[in-house]
């Protein structure tokens, strides 16, 4: 969460998409990531098609 917050803080006007990737799929993790400034959230093990889909959504906005 700290890294995402730092990126958002230092690049205040940035529309840089940040997709959080986590190994822990604990209840509330997604919300914490979004609140920290992540654009979206995905859990490990990664499914490549799911990751590519998220990238298409966020990088073409």
Interval 23-52: pLDDT, tens: 877 888 899 999 999 999 999 999 999 999
The full set of domain ranges for the chain reads 2-59
Provide CATH code, domain 2-59.
3.40.50.2300
Residue 15: predicted pLDDT: 84
pTM attached to this predicted model: 0.81
For residue 61, CA distances in Å to 16, 28, 39, 46, 55 come to 10, 26, 11, 23, 10
Mean pLDDT estimate for the chain: 90
């Amino acid at each position: 969460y700290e890294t995402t917050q730092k990126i958002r803080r230092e690049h205040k006007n940035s529309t840089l998409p940040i997709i959080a990737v986590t190994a822990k799929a604990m209840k509330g993790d997604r919300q914490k990531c979004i609140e920290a400034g992540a654009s979206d959230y995905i859990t490990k093990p990664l499914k490549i098609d799911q990751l590519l889909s998220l990238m298409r959504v966020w990088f073409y906005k």
